[in-house]
Amino acid sequence: MIGILCAMREELEPILEEVEVKEVVEYGKNKFYLAKFDNKDLVLAYSKIGKVNSATTATIMIEKFKAKKILFSGVAGAIDEDLKIGDLIIATKTCQHDIDLTVFGYPYGYIPESEVYFECDKSLNSIAKSVAKKLNLKLKEGIIASGDQFIHSKEKKEWIKKTFNASAIEMEGGAVGCVCFTLNIPFFMLRAISDSAEEGAGIDFDEFLEESSKVSAKFLIEMLKEI
Ligand code: ADE
């Protein structure tokens, strides 16, 4: 069973259109779509935005629906200069930029007995890179930082870049990475850029959410054929 997770309806819908949905199970105030694609069993859902919602949904996919891998698809704000709207990025690792226990001498993003960074699965990342090569698509690899904030300020974005060496920003990857690390489940994070995470990002996000969601969904579907 492969878990396909998104945060928003707009991110999941273009994936659902490509798979054969067999059953819809309502659980935990959410809908889980049990589907087949290329003879593979999938469980798909969108969690709603944010770290708690995405961690809850990832946990349900793993514990209730027995997902053996989690693949995330969606949109992100760009941190690196070379990332433009519609560009694809996969995470090498994810982190949570809004964790601050620095008063106790810990680095930003660190919780005692946990980790700052959660590694993404190297073999899924290498499948993504070979799919990109085959399709002649640009695919960046880098750290993706998450927090329960929509970033729309150059100053905040620069702080996240400097503190976590992140290339892109969103609101779920660090949480899902933490769940998958805890439960020993391979985790893959794919995003297409929807905005610059600077002033005006909210307007770009609204304009490009659907288009960039489709870019990410289309790539994920191509990748699923190779898994
Ligand atoms: N997801 C897409 N764009 C984002 C941004 N600027 N901040 C946080 N999450 C995002």
pLDDT given at position 120: 98
For ligand 1, atom 10, name the residue with the nearest CA.
170
Q: Name the catalytic one among 11, 121, 170, 204.
A: 11
Phi first, then psi, for residue 8 (nearest 5°) are -120, 155
Total number of domains in the chain: 1
Note the ipTM here: 0.99
Q: Decide: 87 and 193 in contact? Cβ < 8 Å.
A: yes
**What is the per-residue pLDDT across 32-69, written as a single tens digit (0 to 9) for each?**
999 999 999 999 999 999 999 999 999 999 999 999 99
81-86 own/partner pairs: CB under 8 Å, 24+ apart: 82/140, 83/140, 83/167, 83/168, 83/193, 84/193, 85/193, 85/194, 85/195, 85/196, 85/204, 85/208, 85/212, 86/192, 86/193, 86/208, 86/211, 86/212, 86/215
Does the Cβ of 194 fall within 6 Å of ligand 1? yes
Compute the residue count for the chain.
227
Given ligand 1 and candidates 96, 194, 203, 211, which is best to mutate, with the most ligand atoms within 8 Å of its CB? Answer: 194
- Supply the pLDDT for residue 174: 98
150 lines ligand 1 (CB under 6 A): yes
The CATH number linked to 126 is: 3.40.50.1580
* Catalytic residue from among 121, 170, 172, 195: 195
Q: How far is the CA of 14 from the centre of ligand 1 (A)?
A: 20
Q: How far is the CA of 185 from the centre of ligand 1 (A)?
A: 25
Task: Based on the residue annotation, tell me whether 211 is a catalytic residue of this protein.
Answer: no
Contact 201, 171 (CB under 8 A): no
Annotation marks residue 195 as catalytic: yes
Atom of ligand 1 nearest to the CA of 76: 2
Please state the atom number of ligand 1 nearest to the C-alpha of residue 195. Answer: 3
Domain span at residue 142 reads 2-224
Burial-class residue 41 by CB neighbours within 10 Å (0-12, 13-18, 19+).
middle
pLDDT in tens, 55-108: 999 999 999 999 999 999 999 999 999 999 999 999 999 999 999 999 999 999
- The arithmetic mean of pLDDT across residues 109-132, rounded, is 98
Q: How confident is the model at residue 138 (pLDDT cuts 50, 70, 90)?
A: very high
Ligand 1 site, residue 54, Cβ cutoff 6 A: no
